[in-house]
Amino acid sequence: QGLLRTDPVPEEGEDVAATIGATETLSEEEQEELRRELAKVEEEIQTLSQVLAAKEKHLAEIKRKLGINSLQELKQNIAKGWQDVTATSAYKKTSETLSQAGQKASAAFSSVGSVITKKLEDV
């Protein structure tokens, strides 16, 4: 029943006075059950924190043995991220559009350069 309860749980920073009324309506037995459940959940959180810390230590050891350092990881993450970005259709369309715009701009500058050169030759 404990995990399936639908009673609202006050969020961090929520007005505690608003929840006091809820405790007053609980029987002593219900309050004791909730205290036991609270202790159990806190214990589980502590255990999970310890397991996570052990896993992180193990991960660091494996990386050390493989010669993987933070800079190499960052480089790999950036390379993978860039590869993911360039694979998107939005990137491909944008790249294509910019390429066409660059070609048109280059042609326009070439035309302007030719006109200027011709005018200078005329002078």
Q: Which pLDDT score is estimated for 109?
A: 80
Contacts of 92 (CB under 8 A, 6+ apart): 86
Query: Which residue, among 37, 31, 27, 30, has the nearest Cα to 2 in the 3D structure?
Result: 37
pTM of the predicted model over 0.75: no
What percentage of the chain reaches a pLDDT higher than 70? 80
Q: Which residue has the higher pLDDT, 17 or 71?
A: 71
